Amino acid sequence: MGVGALAVGISGIGPVPTATAVPPTIPLMFRNASGLDKPVYIYNLGTELSTGRQGWADAKGTFHPWPAGGPVPTPAPDASIAGPAAGKSITIQIPKFSGRVYFSYGRKLDFRLVDGKLVQPAVQSPSDPNRNTLFNWSEYTLNDGGLWLNSTQVDMFSAPYAVGLKRTDGTVQKTGRLRPGGYREFYTALKEQPGGWGNLIQKAPDGTVLRALAPSHGIGTGLLPANTMDDYINRVWRKYSTTSLTVSPFADKPGVKYHGRVSGNVMNFTDGSGSIVTGFEKPDSDSVFGCYKQLSAPNDEVRGPISRTLCAAYNRATLLSSPQQPDTSSARAYQAEVTNPFAQKVHALMADGKAYAFAFDDVGNQESLVHDADPQKAYLTLDPLD
């Protein structure tokens, strides 16, 4: 999910409806276990699903639409909720939304509106007003089908947190937690990675580490070489000019298969009858890391699912080792010499190995997502920066 999107990560809106009625709001317990002696500010921003309006929700879960504004960016209304002090918790209500729960340390975030739409923070730009603020966000959708709540590193790796939910039987599902020491270990590993990967790390004026940009933003800002993945892409292109790549994009429809073969600058995919259903131009590194451009994935039943599978395979570097995709083995991911070390290190340092380290990291169920059709309570815990 790129900066500026308001839909929840990759989990989407989900099936609607279920037999159990989901209430208009559910509680979200927000716990501050960061150990930082700084004020915390919370924001619940997104799209009201019943109307399609964009806006924010207060601590009681009441929706407030953004004002209309105009073509010039103007300050958004203060949507902040005072967060808990270190070692404390608060509970807010979250409504039927598709959006983000932001949190920041030490200062409030600076949000702007253009024509009534929110301009999301884009800290890959040196001029973004939130560039020197430590913050992060989670993504969620709550609708008649239940709750989908995930952690994300699609745009950046920053202040650590975990998410969870309570089911009707009292059990709690959790994900997104780093292993002890994982936060600092990630930055150390990134700095030691050859090829300029340490350039993705951003620091505050006092030298404090704030975040590491995702590689898609690194290429876009010149922090990573534009040819970072080219060697791997070229070898994929050569391999599948003489052999076929089989993509089975639907786990619940194993009989649906598409076969890819490179011809010139295009990898064409055919269905069971041999008819070409879509084609992909040879991607560049930016397309791979961002899962867009030459790997565009429309919300359809053919190109989108194939593209999602290709994107995951490129980032995990499994296309050369397996002509049957998706390769859902986490043990076989990131084993090639050229891969996405940002995503590799995020997954390796997660307590359960799950993460949204790139846009389609849910291919093969590698994503850090909790879901339940009848959620009783949601959780977001700020973890130590160690």
Same domain, 157 and 295: no
- Asked, for residue 303, whether it belongs to a domain, the answer is yes
- Asked, for residue 14, whether it belongs to a domain, the answer is no
- Among candidate residues 338, 353, 373, the one where a domain is terminated: 338
Strand partners, 54: 47
pTM: 0.93
- Among candidate residues 318, 338, 358, the one where a domain is terminated: 338
Same domain, 361 and 322: no
Same domain, 237 and 265: yes
- Asked, for residue 89, whether it belongs to a domain, the answer is yes
Nearest residue to 368 via CA among 11, 95, 106, 120: 11
Same domain, 318 and 376: no
Same domain, 333 and 347: no
- Asked, for residue 210, whether it belongs to a domain, the answer is yes
CATH code of the domain in which 243 resides: 3.30.920.50
- Asked, for residue 12, whether it belongs to a domain, the answer is no
Same domain, 93 and 202: yes
Same domain, 74 and 193: yes
Range of the domain at 314: 230-338
Same domain, 30 and 136: yes
pLDDT in tens, the chain (386 residues): 333 333 333 333 344 444 468 999 999 999 999 999 999 999 999 999 999 999 999 999 999 999 998 899 999 999 999 999 999 999 999 999 999 999 999 999 999 999 999 999 999 999 999 999 999 999 999 999 999 999 999 999 999 999 999 999 999 999 999 999 999 999 999 999 999 999 999 999 999 999 999 999 999 999 999 999 999 999 999 999 999 999 999 999 999 999 999 999 999 999 999 999 999 999 999 999 999 999 999 999 999 999 999 999 999 999 999 999 999 999 999 999 999 999 999 999 999 999 999 999 999 999 999 999 999 999 999 999 99
Same domain, 68 and 201: yes
Same domain, 97 and 43: yes
- Asked, for residue 71, whether it belongs to a domain, the answer is yes
Active site residues: 139, 155
- The number of domains in the chain is 2
CATH code of the domain in which 361 resides: 2.60.110.10
| Cβ atoms of residues 342 and 290 within 8 Å | no
Same domain, 318 and 371: no
SS3 labels along the chain: CCCCCCCCCCCCCCCCCCCCCCCCEEEEEEEECCCCCCCEEEEEEEEECCCCCEEEECCCCCEEECCCCCCCCEECCCCCEECCCCCCEEEEEEECEEEEEEEEECCCCCCEEECCEEECCCCCCCCCCCCCCEEEEEEEEEECCEEEEECCCCCEECCCEEEEEECCCCCEEEECCECCCHHHHHHHHHHHCCCCHHHHEEECCCCCEEEEECHHHHHHCCCCCCCCCHHHHHHHHHHCCCCCEEECCCCCCCCCCEEEEEECCEEEEECCCCCEEEEEECCCHHHHHHCCHHHCCCCCCCHHHHHHHHHHHHHHCCCCCCCEECCCCHHHCCCCCCCCHHHHHHHHHECCCCCCCCCCCCCCCCCCEEEECCCCEEEEEECCCC
- Asked, for residue 49, whether it belongs to a domain, the answer is yes
Same domain, 130 and 191: yes
- Asked, for residue 18, whether it belongs to a domain, the answer is no
